[in-house]
Amino acid sequence: MKVPLLDLKIQYKDIKDEILKVTEEIFESQYFILGPHVVRLEEEIARYCHVDYATGVSSGTDALIISMMAAGIGAGDRVITTPYTFFATIGSITRLGAKPVFVDIDPETYNISPEALKKLVLSMGKEELAGIKGILPVHLYGQCADMDPVINLAKEYNLVVIEDAAQAIGAEYKSKRAGSMGDFGCFSFFPSKNLGAFGDGGIVTTNSKSFQDKLQALRMHGSQTKYYHSIVGGNFRLDALQAAIVSVKLKYLDSWTKIRQENARKYRELFADAALDDFVRLPVEVENRHIYNQFVISLNSKRDELRTFLADSGIGTEIYYPVPMHLQECFSYLGYRENDFPEAEYAAAHTLALPIYPGLSDTQIELVVEKIKLFYL
């Protein structure tokens, strides 16, 4: 029996008829860029994320870029963020000419540490603080970062908050949805996210009308009236095809999320029975709605050997992420060193994502835990 890290074919089987129907509609209309399907998805996502507005864009990466452009973040500005994230979070900051300022993570949740964040800000002089324009927390693996301290700090120092919610659509923090707490919420429809398109896509949420107007213009080369440009934007548009497909899938998202949460519960039960506490640390659920884009365990020892052993047993796993951002070659110019962020570095060296997708059978979950037990005990 094989257990892939992710199997999207199971999901597709259930919704195939609906998907083919909307894609045929679009093929017949030959209307591919933006349009009514995108507008509809924007309204649906705004409602789902408990915000006023949403702007469909070309990817999660572009959602980050366009948000920072709308906030006026550019050359020389600094943005406080986490070094333990997918590359796009940091790549987007630097592509705008801005500089990331890293803060270590909370080892329990893998999200930005509010204590470390406060400490950093308090250690800064007036001039240094003036260069900081925003905070970019990441809701990693589907669990919201501790947002109250982030929002309070942002208010105190007049900073813009950009939530990287690419892995966290529908996740909640104190009953508030991911993407509804900061100035911008950035989502990705990359196929492996909980709400994936059939290709690249993304969306930005906001409660500000003026940011919304800017986002809508920026994704069309900065024009509000065709061929008249008051600002420079880019081509950040979402395809009608992707929007229509995501609209179909959004109806099922909550039921898929429930199955992911149920799979997580099964893992917890099985790991408890397996008595692997000395070897395996399970993900800590702090916030009330963790949507489990990933189920990530931490291994005290032999993470890479375990991964090879599982692969040999037909079980897919992944390391998210093996090199924290402050140690990436392309960011060496920032001047960070090893041991600067020990929690992020520990996580990078010890964590492993297990299969959690909806459609995973009980026997498959049991096999994963059984094999991990066999490896360690």
Ligand X SMILES: *Cc1c(COP(=O)(O)O)cnc(C)c1O
Binding site for ligand X (CB under 6 A): 59-61, 85-86, 88-89, 138, 164, 166-167, 188, 190, 200, 202
Comparing CB distances to ligand X, the nearer of 172 and 200 is 200
Q: Output the smallest distance, CB 375 to ligand X, in A.
A: 28
Comparing CB distances to ligand X, the nearer of 61 and 212 is 61
**Closest residue to ligand X, Cβ-based?**
60
Task: Compute the distance between CA of residue 358 and CA of residue 352 in angstroms, rounded to an integer.
Answer: 19
Q: Which two tokens stand for residue 80?
A: 């406080």
- Could you tell me the CA-to-CA distances from 95 to 52, 63, 66, 90, 326 in Å, in that order? 28, 13, 11, 9, 16
Q: Output the smallest distance, CB 376 to ligand X, in A.
A: 29
Comparing CB distances to ligand X, the nearer of 109 and 364 is 109
Task: Compute the distance between CA of residue 165 and CA of residue 204 in angstroms, rounded to an integer.
Answer: 9
Q: Output the smallest distance, CB 312 to ligand X, in A.
A: 28
Comparing CB distances to ligand X, the nearer of 160 and 186 is 186
How many Cβ atoms from other residues are within 10 Å of residue 111's Cβ? 24
Comparing CB distances to ligand X, the nearer of 289 and 371 is 289
Q: Output the smallest distance, CB 59 to ligand X, in A.
A: 4
How many Cβ atoms from other residues are within 10 Å of residue 127's Cβ? 7
**Residue 357: is the preceding peptide bond cis (ω within 30°)?**
no
Q: Output the smallest distance, CB 344 to ligand X, in A.
A: 14
Comparing CB distances to ligand X, the nearer of 63 and 306 is 63
Task: Compute the distance between CA of residue 182 and CA of residue 205 in angstroms, rounded to an integer.
Answer: 9
How many Cβ atoms from other residues are within 10 Å of residue 28's Cβ? 8
Burial class (CB in 10 A: 0-12, 13-18, 19+), 4: middle
Q: Output the smallest distance, CB 138 to ligand X, in A.
A: 5
Q: Output the smallest distance, CB 81 to ligand X, in A.
A: 11
Comparing CB distances to ligand X, the nearer of 60 and 134 is 60
With H, G, I as helix, E, B as strand and everything else as coil, classify residue 121.
helix
Q: Residue by residue, what is the 3-state secondary structure of 252-314?
A: HHHHHHHHHHHHHHHHHHHHHHHCCCCCEECCCCCCCECCCCCEEEEECCCHHHHHHHHHHCC
Q: Strand 99-102 vs strand 228-229: parallel, antiparallel, or unpaired?
A: unpaired
